[in-house]
Amino acid sequence: MSAEQPLVLVVEDEPDLADLYATWLRDDYRVRVAYGGREALDELDDEVDVVLLDRRMPDLSGDEALTEIRNHGFDCRVAMVTAVEPDFDIIAMGFDDYLVKPVSREALTDTVSNLILRNTYDVGIQDLFSLASKKALLESEKDETTLKDNDEYQRLTEQLDRLKNELDDTLSQLDNNKGIAAVYRDIGNADDADES
């Protein structure tokens, strides 16, 4: 992360919506706006801390843009902000969080804040939060039978459990400050769903 305010790149092909998101974020972050996937890749550099990425865009889809971001090795957190309902295809995608439109100001700003905080952790913990977010998202959208019958979901659960065990020592050493509670949201949601 840069020494200045964190930089958020808003990628949305609906200009009014992109500008609204940017307005919501400008009090706390530096903001760049791209009105399409190709423009997003032009705006992306090592200064960008968080990308808010729409999935459905005409010139280059959010899925394709996400692949390019990861292939070029940019070290930023990515949240998909989209009207596309999540399905099991999200398991293989390299995003960190997923918001389904319509998105409230609070949900958007909380997500950016959590992703900025996650940026301070090592890769293992970032992976843990990403997997937990995907698991919680799928559990909020799919019924229990569908989840139990899906091999990708079962592998995701096993991978998450394995990573939680490997990182248990690291997690126990984290400071118990107010930001940590927000980060644990995804893990707690995934654990609560496991118990039900």
- Fold of the domain built from segment(s) 7-120: Rossmann fold (3.40.50)
Q: What is the DSSP string of 112-126?
A: HHHHHHHTTS-HHHH
The reported pTM is 0.72
DSSP-assigned letter for residue 34 = E
Residue 106 CB contacts under 8 Å (≥ 6 apart), including other chains = none
Which residues does residue 8 pair with via DSSP β-bridges, in sequence order?
31, 50
Percent of the chain surpassing pLDDT 70: 84
Q: At what angle do helices 123-141 and 151-173 cross, to 10 degrees?
A: 140
The answer to whether residue 154 scores a pLDDT higher than 50 is: yes
Residue recorded with tokens 């019924």:
143
Q: What is the pLDDT of residues 159-172, one digit of tens each?
A: 888 888 877 755 55
Query: What residue spans define the domains of the chain?
Result: 7-120, 124-195
